[in-house]
Structure 1
Amino acid sequence: MSEKKPPDWPAIEAEFRAGQLSNRMLGEKHGVGESLIRKKAKQGEWTKDLTDKVRQEVRTQLVRSAVRTSNASEREIIEQAGITGAEVVRTHRRDVRRASDLVGLLMGQLTSAAGIRADLEATVEELCKDDETGQREARLMKAISLPTHAGTIRDLSTALKNLVTLERQAHNLDELSSEETYEDRLARLMGAKE
C-alpha cells in the first residue's frame, strides 16, 4: 500500500494567490479539503492579490495570439480584439434569432395542442387500448402535456442565456461586476439551482 504524499502547500499557495481556481477546485486538484485550504490561507494570510494581474495577462496573451505577433501595434491589437468581439456578437445575434424562432414554433405548437387537447388525449387512449400496463399511454400523455412543452421552452432559454453569458465573459466583452471567479460563475450558471 502506497503512502499518501503530503500536500504541496507552496504550490497550493501560489495557485490560491493567482486566483484562477476556487478553493474547492484547488482542493480537488491537490487532494486537500476546501476547509483546510481556507484554514491555511487564513493562518498564512494568503490573499488573491494576483487575480487582476493574471486576468490582464490572460487578456494580453489572448489578444496577442489573435494577431499572431508580439510586435503588434496597439492599433492592430485593438482592431483584432474588435473583430473577434464583433464576431462573437454576430454569432449571439444569430443564435438568439434561431432560438427565438424555435420558441415561436414551440409556442405555436402549444397553442395548437391546447386547442385540441381533448382530441389528442382521445387519440392516445385509442392507440393504447391494448396496452395492459398503461405505461405506453402514460408516456404518450406526458409527451403531449403542456408542462413538458413549457419546460422545454424554459430550459432552452435558460441554456442560451447561460451560454451567451459565458461566451461573452470568455471574450472579455462584459466587465465582471463582482469578485466572482470564472469557475464560480460557471458553477452558478450551469448547476446551482436556487
Structure 2
Amino acid sequence: MTHHPESAPNLRLRHWASRLALLVAGVSAIATSQATSEDLTSEPYTGRAVQLTPDAPRAKVPFVVAATATKSPDKLVEAEVTVLVSATWTPTNPEQAARPWVRATLSEGDSEFTGPEASGVLVAGQPVTFQVHNYLGRDCTLGTRCEWAPKLNLELQPGAAPGTVEVVWTATASAHVVDTSSTPKGFAVIVSEP
C-alpha cells in the first residue's frame, strides 16, 4: 500500500473538524436549555379503591395535583405524575383458567388524549402491580398555586370471565419551576382527591 503525503494532514484536519463540530453542538445545546429549580416530590397519596367487573369494566378516577408556594416567582411550573396500580382479581369460579388483563392510562381535564399505557395480566387472588406515568400540562404560572386535574383511566379486558377486580392506586407527583435555579419559598407538591 502506498502512502500519499496529503492523506495524513487531511485525516488530522478532519479529526479536529469533527471534534470542533461536536464541541459547538454541545455548547449550543447547553446554551438553549432552560434553568429549572430542583424537582420537589409529593408524599405518596393512596386513593379510594376501585372495583371493576365484566358488567362495569371501566372507571375514571379523578384526582388533583397542586404545586403551591408562599412566595411566588411568577414563573412557569412543570409537573409529572406516576401512579402505582395494584389489581387483585377474584374470579366467580376459582377454577377459571382464563387470565384477563387490566389496563391503566392517565389523561388530564376533559381531554380524551391519554399518555402511555401500562397493563398487567391478572392472576386469581394475587395482586398484580404496575405503574403509569405522564407529564401534566404546561399552562400554569405559579402565583401561589398551580393545579392540574388528571384522571386515572382503568379498563378490564372486554369479555373477561365473571369476577371482581379490586384496584388500589397510589399517586406521586413532582414539579419544578422553569427559568430559575432556586426553589421558591414554601414550594410544595400535593396529591389529593376532589
Shorter-chain TM-score tier = under 0.3
The TM-score, its normalising length taken from structure 2, stands at 0.24
Q: Which is bigger in relative contact order (C-alpha 8 A, separation at least 6)?
A: 2
> Which structure: greater strand fraction?
2
The TM-score, its normalising length taken from structure 1, stands at 0.24
> Which structure: greater helix fraction?
1
